[in-house]
Amino acid sequence: MRRLWLASLLVLLACSAPGPAGVVSAGWRELPLPAPGARVLAMAPLAAGVLVLGSVPGSEGRAPAAWTTADGRHWRAVPVAPHSAYAFQAELASVGVAGDRWTVLGQAFGGAHGNPRMTVWSGGDAGLAEHPQAFELFGGPHAVAVTSAAALPGTGLLVGQWENATGRSGAAVWTSADGTRWQRNADDPALSSAPGEQTSAVQAAPGPLGFLVAGYDEREGLLTPLAWASPDGQTWRRLPVPPPAASSMAQRVACDGQGCVLGGATAGARSRALCWPVDPRGVIGAGQPGPESKLVEFSQLLLRDTRVFAALRVDDRARLAVLGRDCTGWQDLPLPVGAAEACLAPLPGEVLLATTDPEAGRLWVRADDRRG
């Protein structure tokens, strides 16, 4: 009954007709949120629109929520069916789309130490169901992190870090053929940490090579960007990433049929954004520099025709940029308001933007005039 009540509540909250035109700022027009109090944490293109993931206010803080839209004005709530205790409090934070099938990673915080509690979901336009897993598949004494979801037809993928049989922490992946039963791989020689290093997998995306994963390794305090490729999520190989002179890491990846881009940053007293172009064969070009500040991190990369849209966090505040597919020509794209986080999605002739702070979110759209 609780699941049915929650799904019904979300449908009532989230089926919204277009509201009146909102604030216009820096070329962005504010749109009504898909539901009152919604926080949007991830968006992904679909064949006929955009999938939007996040949360709404719930009886235990937040409750998972998802919607689809063709234009950012009309919304359809996707029914969600949580089962485990933490799923009812989860925010849906990462998604992989493969045709009409979605692989979703949810996150809540709890337990004695307030650690992240991961939940995995799968489904499609008709609904998302959570699939409870054994605690030590993602948690327990050997857990480090699960950070991102991706999907290819027939394979869902999660990436993160795990302490493997050698006792060393390193990059790890979890795969599923049906979104229900998951298997962990922390021992692949390409993923796992060799003596003297520690590998980390941060984000994955599907592309011409199959899966491409962005991450890094650490040796004696020096960070080096890394990428891994796999045709099926089962066997992996490392791809050389040209490192800059400074310690650095790859944090985000995005792909389409033309290739991929990696986004990351240098590490040190000052941090500078970096972007690496990746051709369809997996050859990674030299990293091209972007904004510099005390702390720079990538939140998202979005490929659209000849351009790359980048959402960053600069000194803990969101910032947007547009650059070429070769990672050159960085240009700031002004935000309509200050925010802690931002994410982007393509609409026909427009760009959809979600700005998010810890307790609130706002939604915006602007014409994609190809001038940034």
Note whether 149 and 119 are same-domain residues: no
Note whether 162 and 113 are same-domain residues: no
Note whether 230 and 256 are same-domain residues: yes
Q: Is residue 355 part of a domain?
A: no
Give Cα separations from 234 to 156, 189, 190, 206, 230 (angstroms): 11, 12, 11, 14, 7
Note whether 186 and 271 are same-domain residues: yes
pLDDT of amino acid 16: 42
Note whether 109 and 227 are same-domain residues: no
Note whether 83 and 119 are same-domain residues: yes
Residues of the domain holding 11: 1-15+22-132
**Distance (Å, rounded) from C-alpha 254 to C-alpha 205?**
6
pLDDT of amino acid 117: 87
Note whether 122 and 148 are same-domain residues: no
Structure tokens at 157: 């993928």
CATH number for 152: 2.115.10.20
Note whether 180 and 320 are same-domain residues: yes
Interacting residues of 80 by C-beta distance below 8 A, sequence separation 6+: 6, 7, 10, 64, 65, 66, 92, 121, 127, 128, 129, 130
Domain boundary among 86, 106, 132: 132
Note whether 119 and 170 are same-domain residues: no
Note whether 112 and 248 are same-domain residues: no
Q: Is residue 308 part of a domain?
A: yes
Interacting residues of 114 by C-beta distance below 8 A, sequence separation 6+: none
> What's the structural domain count of the chain?
2
Structure tokens at 112: 């004695």
Domain boundary among 132, 154, 175: 132
Note whether 114 and 177 are same-domain residues: no
Query: 286, 276, 263, 157: which is closest to 210 by C-alpha?
Result: 157
Note whether 75 and 195 are same-domain residues: no
pLDDT digit of tens for each residue in the chain (372 aa)? 344 334 434 443 444 443 444 789 999 999 999 999 999 999 999 999 999 999 999 988 899 999 999 999 999 999 999 999 999 999 999 999 999 999 999 999 876 556 778 999 999 999 999 999 998 888 877 888 999 999 999 999 999 999 988 888 999 999 999 999 999 999 999 999 999 999 999 999 999 999 999 999 999 999 999 999 999 999 999 998 998 888 999 999 999 999 999 999 999 999 999 999 999 999 999 999 999 999 999 999 999 999 999 999 999 999 999 999 999 999 999 999 999 999 999 999 999 999 999 878 999 999 997 644
pLDDT of amino acid 116: 79
**Distance (Å, rounded) from C-alpha 116 to C-alpha 65?**
18
**Distance (Å, rounded) from C-alpha 250 to C-alpha 252?**
6
Domain boundary among 90, 108, 132: 132
Taking the complete model, does pTM exceed 0.85, yes or no?
Answer: yes
Interacting residues of 231 by C-beta distance below 8 A, sequence separation 6+: 209, 210, 211
Q: Is residue 181 part of a domain?
A: yes
Q: Is residue 356 part of a domain?
A: no
pLDDT of amino acid 23: 85
Q: Is residue 371 part of a domain?
A: no
Q: Is residue 44 part of a domain?
A: yes
